[in-house]
Amino acid sequence: MGATEPTDSIETTPELEPVAGPPCPDQPLTLRIEAVLLTNDRPVTEQKLVEMLGLKSTGKVKDGAAAQVRDAIAELNATYESQQRSFRAERLAGGYQLLTIPAFAPLLARVRGLRQQGRLTPAALETLAIIAYRQPILRSELEAIRGVACGEVLKSLLERRLVRITGRAEELGRPMLYGTTTEFLKVFGLSRIEDLPQAKELRNPNA
């Protein structure tokens, strides 16, 4: 064979050959893209979608596969809008991600607030455990066991109705005594306080 003549270098997008053919070829491209976006909590780039879906890009049609992705996403969004769905496939950080539309922002803000409210910090859990096993307990006793001030944590547990003031101690200043509540039993799935797991090191030695 004779030597070929040099030609000008033309930048082309390399063909992406799927390992074993495109996955789920019997399903519409829109639904395949939707499935990928549903299972990713981060934006997915066009190129990544092309690779995942086993689409082909050739030198002749440099942007062909990416254009298929864009067209399919536009079709998805048109469907979501016509069906009045609460989300869209939006461009974000160089990729696509399913996001709720702005109209639902107040609802989601409330949901996030409730989730945060429902979480107990390690400090709150430790404090609650001590109260549960040692009740009725003085704040001074609680702080002696934990080795730190517990004012803010106690306030939080009182606000969540997991802890209550059960009375006052018969000593100088009549300091308040703390114990758990019925709400505590509900949250932790207990019928009664005696159903707590055995923890001799935490139980009140005077009980």
**pLDDT by residue for the chain (207 residues), tens digit each?**
444 444 333 333 344 444 457 888 889 999 999 999 999 888 899 999 999 998 876 544 457 888 999 999 999 999 999 999 999 999 887 889 998 998 988 888 777 766 655 678 899 999 999 999 999 999 999 999 999 999 999 998 998 889 999 999 888 889 999 999 988 888 787 878 888 887 654 555 555
Residue 164: Cβ within 10 Å count: 17
- List, by residue range, all CATH 1.10.10.10 domains of the chain: 29-105, 118-195
pLDDT the model gives residue 199:
63
Angle between helices 151-159 and 139-146 in degrees, nearest 10: 120
The DSSP secondary structure of 45-93, one letter per residue, reads -HHHHHHHHT----SSSTTHHHHHHHHHHHHHHHHHHHTT-SEEEEEET
Topology (CATH) of 29-105 = Arc Repressor Mutant, subunit A (1.10.10)
pLDDT the model gives residue 114:
60
- Looking at domain 118-195, its CATH architecture is Orthogonal Bundle (1.10)
Place of tokens 């879906």: 53
Q: Smallest Cα–Cα separation from 179: which of 198, 188, 166, 168?
A: 166
Please report which helix (H) or strand (E) contains residue 95, including its range: strand 95-100
Place of tokens 């003031």: 165
Angle between helices 29-38 and 46-53 in degrees, nearest 10: 110
Q: Where are the alpha helices (DSSP H) in the chain?
A: 29-38, 46-53, 64-82, 105-118, 122-134, 139-146, 151-159, 182-187
Cα separation values, 113 from 107, 110, 130, Å: 10, 5, 27
